[in-house]
Amino acid sequence: MDYKEFKKRIIEKFRINNQAFKEKDEKLIVDFKGYRCEVDLELIYAEVKKEKGLSIDDSYRKIMYVFEENYKKINQKVDWHRVYPVIRPKNFEDGSNMFHQDLFLDLDLYLVEDFDDTIRFIKKDDVEDEYFAVKKAFENLNRVEAYLVPLNEKSGIYYSLPENGFSAARIVTKKMQKQISSILGDSYLLLISDDGGFIVARNSIRNYRLLKDMTEKPDFEHRISKKIYTCENGMRFNYYNNKDIFRIIK
C-alpha cells in the first residue's frame, strides 16, 4: 500500500467513525475532546511501513493514541489564571511531588488549579518560577473583595467572607491584615477552620476558650488545624503563648 492509498483509506476510516476532522499539508487535524490535535500522516505511514502487516484499523488506533497523548499534555498545562493558594498542615502528603512552601508554624502553603467541580494540586514540575507562581495565585485570590463579618461583635469575634475553597489563605495577605488590625487592633487570635475561611478574635482568655470550644466539636475533626494562633502587629504568628516569625506575603 503506497502513501496515497494509505491516506485515502485512513481518511475514510475517520469518516466512517464520524470524527470531525480536516486535512491540511499532509496533517490530519481533529477536534479531540474539545482540543485541536493533529498528527503528521507521513510520519504515521513511515511507521506503518516499518511494522509490516499493520492494518488501517491499527493505524487508526495509533493515530488516536497520538491524539490522546497530545490531549494529556495540553490537559496538564497549568492555566495560571485559575490557580489559587490553599493552606495545609505540614504532615499533608509527606514526600509528595506537590509544590508547597513553608507558611508558619505547623502550616504550609500549596497551590491548586480550580476546575470548578474539582481541583488539582500544582506539582513541583509545574513551577518554573516560584515567585511568579505564588504571586499569581494571590493575585487571583484578591480579585474578589474579602471582608469580615461579626460572629459575636460584643466579644470581638469575626469570620471571613466570601466563603469559597480558597478564602482561608487570605489571612496571609497584607490587605486582610490591615482590615483585621482596623477592627481588632494589632494583637488577635486566629482559628483556621477550613479552606472556606478563618475566624479571628480579640486577644483575650475568654475568646481563646470560646475558640477552643469550637475545635472540640465533632464537625471540627477534619479541619485544616485545631490549633489556635496569635498574631502580633500583623507580622508575627505564634501558637497561643508560643512564638514564631512569619513573613507576610504581598
The single-letter code of the amino acid at 127 is V
- Indicate the domain borders of the chain: 3-76, 80-141, 147-239
Q: How far apart are CA 188 and CA 40, in angstroms?
A: 63
pLDDT at 157 over 80: yes
pLDDT at 117 over 60: no
Across residues 219-235, what is the average pLDDT? 73
pLDDT at 132 over 90: yes
Confidence band for 133, pLDDT divided at 50, 70 and 90: very high
pLDDT at 94 over 70: no
- What stretch of H or E contains 200? strand 197-202
141 vs 54, more confident:
141
Q: How far apart are CA 133 and CA 80, in angstroms?
A: 8
What is the CB neighbour count within 10 angstroms for residue 134?
19
Q: Which residues lie across from 27 on neighbouring strands?
A: 24, 40
Average pLDDT value for the chain: 78
pLDDT value at residue 116: 65
Percent of residues, the chain, with pLDDT higher than 70: 77
Confidence band for 250, pLDDT divided at 50, 70 and 90: very low
Percent of residues, the chain, with pLDDT higher than 90: 4
Cell of 239: 501558637
Number of residues that this document lists for the chain: 250
Across residues 58-79, what is the average pLDDT? 75
Bridging pattern class, strands 187-194 and 197-202: antiparallel
pLDDT value at residue 96: 66
**75-79, 138-142, 240-244 — most confident range:** 138-142
Across residues 159-178, what is the average pLDDT? 80
pLDDT at 131 over 60: yes
Q: How far apart are CA 230 and CA 190, in angstroms?
A: 6
Tell the burial category of 170 from Cβ atoms under 10 Å away from its Cβ (0-12, 13-18, 19+): buried
Contact 112, 136 (CB under 8 A): no
140 vs 249, more confident:
140
Region of poorest pLDDT, from 30-34, 47-51, 102-106, 167-171: 30-34
Q: How far apart are CA 25 and CA 165, in angstroms?
A: 46
150 vs 222, more confident:
150
Q: How far apart are CA 199 and CA 149, in angstroms?
A: 10
